[in-house]
Amino acid sequence: MRSTGTLPGWLAPRPTLMCALLLPLMAWPGIAHAQTAEPAAPTVESQRSQAVQQRIPQQTVSKVGVLQGIVMDQAGRPLVGVEVRLPGAVAPVSTSADGIFRMLRISPGSYELTFTPRGGVATRRQGVEIHAGEVLSIEVHLTVADKGAIFALPQTPAEVLADTNYKELSRRPDADGAVVAAPLENILPEAAYFQPKPDRWNASMPNYHRYNLGDETPFVLGHWYDPFNRNRLKADKPLFGKTFFSLTADSITALEGKRLPTPAGQSTSSVNEPDFFGRGGQFFLAQTFRFSFDLFHGDTSAFRPVDWRIRVTPAANINYLNARENQVVSPVVTNGTTRLDGHVGLQEAFGEVKVADVGPNYDFMNVRVGIQAFVSDFRGFVFADEQPGVRVFGNLLSNRIQYNFAMFDLLEKDTNSGLNTFHRRGREVAVANVFIQDFIAKGYTTEFSYHFQRDNNSLQYNDNGVIVRPAPIGTIAPHRIDADYMGWTGDGHIGKLNLTHAFYEVLGNDSFSQIAAQKTGINAQFAAVELSVDRDYMRFRTSFLYASGDGKVRDGTARGFSSIVDGVAFAGGEFSFFNREGIPLTRAGVALTAPDSFLPDLRSSKDEGQSNFVNPGIFLYNAGLDVDVLPTLKFVANTNFMQFDRTESLEFLLQQNGIRRTIGVDSGAGFIYRPFLNDNVIIHAGATDLVPLRGLRDIYTSQTLISVFGLVKFQF
């Protein structure tokens, strides 16, 4: 249908727009006085004069004006694409998706304003006054053609916009806070402007089913056991005010069958075993439950940091080990070849508070005190643990820079579960780092860091009755280690090339190195780099890792690199046998490597033992492939070639000459399956092996070491 010469009456202005324009007026002294004493309403000219007098001192008075407004249909819906013309003033403009238009730099004068909607007839308004230094806000209602019309309406002369369809909402001086309002009719308290709005947190969901029951529906009622829809236990609604609570529950089931080099010992589990190495088969099963209770105040968005937070995460673990040889589960032969153990630990228990807002774009500084998870770099090369400490952290320059200052007083770990105990370890760690985004290139983040560890001299037996501090090697004596780590790492992409790199220099001293049998200085290096390229659904990657080794065992300087507590996700991670498994060193009381670490640093235990800087070091060369077979299924293949940097420390410790450098070829494959495209159900499964080459054969045998594993994680 086409518009007529006489338009319907003006409807009430949109409440949201009017509230935004009228709320400042409620605090205006003249209006507040008018509501109480009810004097004669001031004229627009008198308000304009008063506003000019209140202009900010030394501010230049503008010689042009501004016209802005909103264009709606008779039902109050915004009209998109309406052409707005002010002939002789500025170029035509069109309304936005919200029906809003703006015209800038208009010379003072009286103009004819024309509106031409899509498929409608032009409507004009004469006598629109534009004043210098003012912003005029208007609201216009038009009658438009039926949206279902097929043919455009014929062109007719522009019709006059009735007074009931045109309203000046306000006039205000440009660039200052003074608002000059056009005369307003009395607004009763029960008018739409003052109607209370419903509480958005408790707004009920409509009982509406567009599809059959059981299909996807646009509105779903939440339940306490439903983590996907509105749930107060998942911080979808506040407990009170702006205080939210989030519950996260995890069930992690891990199982593994592996073959490791295992000495037969003084008493074998079966008769007629003359060989030095016994049967190395082991089966391990562990079930862990974690419950995270998170109470915080603030906003649930990812941009604004919380004002304060309290989080507690207890964990319970039960594990079972079945070995084929004695003295694997315990040094006591009579304990047999099986072990069932359990432990309950506290993995998180901290309070956090925002200290200050340091920028307009949610830059902040927070302090967190208590047991907390912390990873000091991108891949966990030096420190990754859940320990009690004090951490000051925040960001700068619109989150381009992030920083951390943290100090930790470490707890002892339960030997078989890896969970925290409630006993102090006697080991202090301090970390300071800064991350800079878009450093050198967009998409690349670099980090500069400093780590310090002090491991005090102490005596400790683990839960299986094995001495772990000091390590049962060399000259056994308690000793203290002070070590400083300076590092530069990076992660991200430069163009199409994905890049991760790290370099660390560690300096310090060991009061008594057990292998060197004297006080030693520490000077060791570490480097790693990973390059990858994405092609469709595949990622081709290659990486290199180097940890320096010590070639002069007794010279007073320890040159082998050793971390604090690493948890490495690099060169295949869990799909690498050498990284996944802890390989014991034959009858030496220490391990060649610890679980989740590539470093052959000859520790008694990564968690309970001390760093050892007299070690063989390593060169690692890697090639791998990641394939997103399906959106829910990822396939991983990985191959590593490894060799020792120096073997003198192994020769001294094992009293064996001529140990060669090559370790072996480590390969693995597996998949990661997320059936629901989220973290509620995750399944990991794979197999890895390590084919020994000359160096590993010199220490063990030529038998291939294998591991088959699976992990199932459920999360609420």
In order of their start, the domains of the chain are: 15-194 (2.60.40.1120), 243-715 (2.40.160.100)
How high is the pLDDT of residue 271? 53
Which region among 192-206, 221-235, 325-339, 428-442 has the lowest average model confidence (pLDDT)? 192-206
pLDDT of 304 above 50: yes
**Could you give the percent of the chain with pLDDT greater than 90?**
57
Residues 6+ apart with CB under 8 A from 468: 460, 461, 462, 604, 605, 608, 609
pLDDT of 35 above 60: no
What is the per-residue pLDDT across 517-565, written as a single tens digit (0 to 9) for each?
A: 899 999 999 999 999 999 999 999 999 999 999 999 988 899 999 999 9
How high is the pLDDT of residue 148? 41
- Which pLDDT band, with edges at 50, 70 and 90, does 236 fall under? confident
What is the per-residue pLDDT across 4-26, written as a single tens digit (0 to 9) for each?
A: 343 334 334 444 333 433 333 33
Which among 113-127, 229-243, 459-473, 679-693 has the top mean pLDDT?
679-693
How high is the pLDDT of residue 1? 37
Tell me the three state secondary structure of residue 577: helix
Strands (E), 358-496: 364-375, 384-396, 401-413, 420-436, 444-455, 460-461, 467-469, 481-494
The residues pairing with 577 across neighbouring beta strands, listed in sequence order, are: none
Among 564, 594, 591, residue whose Cα is nearest residue 579: 594
How high is the pLDDT of residue 119? 72
Q: How many CB atoms lie within 10 A of CB 557?
A: 16
The DSSP code sequence of 246-272 is EEEEEEEEEEEEEE---B--SS-SSS-
Report how far apart, in Å, the C-alpha atoms of 314 and of each of 152, 317, 318 are.
69, 10, 14
Q: Mean pLDDT across the stretch 227-242?
A: 87
Handedness of CA 696, 697, 701, 703 (dihedral sign): positive
How high is the pLDDT of residue 125? 87
Handedness of CA 6, 8, 9, 14 (dihedral sign): negative
Q: At what angle do helices 15-26 and 29-37 cross, to 10 degrees?
A: 90
What is the per-residue pLDDT across 415-431, written as a single tens digit (0 to 9) for each?
A: 999 999 999 999 999 99
The DSSP code sequence of 35-74 is HHH--PPPPHHHHHHHHHHTSPTTPPPPSSEEEEEEEEET
What is the per-residue pLDDT across 56-77, written as a single tens digit (0 to 9) for each?
A: 444 556 788 999 999 998 888 8
**Could you give the percent of the chain with pLDDT greater than 70?**
81
How high is the pLDDT of residue 153? 41
How high is the pLDDT of residue 321? 93
Q: How many CB atoms lie within 10 A of CB 513?
A: 27
Check whether the bond before 470 is cis (ω within 30° of 0). Answer: yes
In whole angstroms, give the CA distance from residue 270 to residue 175: 92
- Which pLDDT band, with edges at 50, 70 and 90, does 599 fall under? very high
pLDDT of 144 above 70: yes
Mean residue pLDDT of the chain comes to 84
Tokens of 508: 């310090």
The DSSP code sequence of 657-682 is S---SEEEEEEEEEEEE-TTSSSSEE
What is the per-residue pLDDT across 496-529, written as a single tens digit (0 to 9) for each?
A: 999 999 999 999 999 999 898 899 999 999 999 9
To which H or E segment does residue 637 belong? strand 633-644
- Pairing between β-strand 65-73 and β-strand 134-142 as defined by DSSP bridges: parallel
pLDDT of 706 above 80: yes
Q: How many CB atoms lie within 10 A of CB 390?
A: 15
- Which pLDDT band, with edges at 50, 70 and 90, does 158 fall under? low
How high is the pLDDT of residue 214? 64
How high is the pLDDT of residue 196? 63
What is the per-residue pLDDT across 666-676, written as a single tens digit (0 to 9) for each?
A: 999 999 999 99
Which region among 52-56, 225-229, 346-350 has the lowest average model confidence (pLDDT)? 52-56
Residues 6+ apart with CB under 8 A from 483: 452, 453, 506, 507, 508, 522, 564, 611, 613
- Which pLDDT band, with edges at 50, 70 and 90, does 298 fall under? confident
